[in-house]
Amino acid sequence: MTDRRRFAVKAIVVVVVGAVLLYLPQQLASFEVGNLNKVICFAIAALGLNLLTGYNGQISIGHGAFFGIGAYTSVILVADHGWPHFATIAAAAAIAFVVGVLIGLPALRIEGLYLALVTLALATVFPQLISRFSDLTGGSQGKNVRLPDRFTAPDWTGLENDQWKYYVFLAFAAVAFLLVRNLVHSRAGRAIISIRDNETAAETLGVHSAAYKVATFGVSAMIAGIAGALYSFETSFVSAGEFTINLSITFLVAVVVGGAATIIGPAVGAFLVVYIPIWLDDAGADPQLSPVLFGASLILLMMAAPGGILGLYRRLVGWGSRRMKKGAPPPTQSTPDALASVT
């Protein structure tokens, strides 16, 4: 397939998918749009984790804490200080970035499973800190935004609240995925990937690995914080029980299932981790067995697609390309006599 044809196919796919995404909330019930809103928030958070783990090679099991930092920042600023919702996103991003950098600094001396343990500790401690500072966070009772201050659709849109949230979330997701895609394909992105592949060789070539690793940690946390702030727009309520280690593991599962080190993989993985439990409930599965069935379905999925859904797609495309090349007639070779006749 030529580059021009490949570009045309990608453009058609983007247009079709975009049209479907824009059309969906007009046809779905309110609770179904709410599920899609959750998918979008999880996809953005998984995107941030994918930048850190998939592209930079730093394992994190603490991104649920960054997600929670963004959500709590937004709710506290709206409920207690009367901030506009969109302004809280910038504050959530800044605070999550700073915390991410602070966590990334000790990560310079550790890696692999040891780094995973540090981020695991962050995910474990975060709910305890929320409960400890109950005057600010509401503690175990949680904190909610009063009804008049909740994120609602402006009158001029003519949209329902869930539809307005969906389009806002989708716009943020499109920008986030586009920016991460451009970052990965930039000089900085190549440096980030080179650190994952061979840090010693990257430093030999002049890559400042320490600066890139800390910055990547901060940017990754910032993206998760933005996702958390958007999630608080959807729920208007936050509690410590929502941001446990289970949430961090969910983000990691979304990255792995969708396809690590891919741009679209986190969105595919987020869709699956949100909807597989819903499908199991719709199928009448025992609520006590649902987590077991969910885990089993993920294991089967990873057995069928070790590189994630996007990895499986690439393998199928590569297999199809090889089959087409084998079936194509061999190229004609010019003989000396033929060349002589031409000349």
pLDDT band at 301 (very low <50, low <70, confident <90, very high): confident
pTM: 0.91
Alpha-helical regions (H) of the chain: 3-23, 30-50, 63-81, 85-104, 113-132, 134-137, 161-184, 187-197, 199-204, 209-235, 245-258, 265-282, 290-304, 308-327, 336-342
Token pair 């937004």 is found at: 74
Calculate mean pLDDT across residues 168-197: 96
For the chain, give every domain's residue range. 8-242
| pLDDT digits 0-9 by tens, 12-41 | 988 999 999 999 999 999 999 999 999 999
The band of 7, judged by pLDDT with boundaries at 50, 70 and 90, is confident
Write the DSSP assignment of 241-291 as a string of letters. Answer: GGSSHHHHHHHHHHHHHH-TT-SSHHHHHHHHHHHHHHHHHHTT--TTTHH
**What CA–CA distance (Å, rounded) separates 92 from 67?**
9
Decide if pLDDT at 289 tops 50: yes
Mean pLDDT of the chain: 89
Average pLDDT for residues 112-126, to the nearest whole number?
88
Backbone φ and ψ of 180, nearest 5° = -65, -40
Tokens of 229: 């702030």
Q: What is the pLDDT of residue 342?
A: 37
Euclidean distance between CA atoms 224 and 93, whole angstroms? 8
Percentage of the chain exceeding pLDDT 90: 71
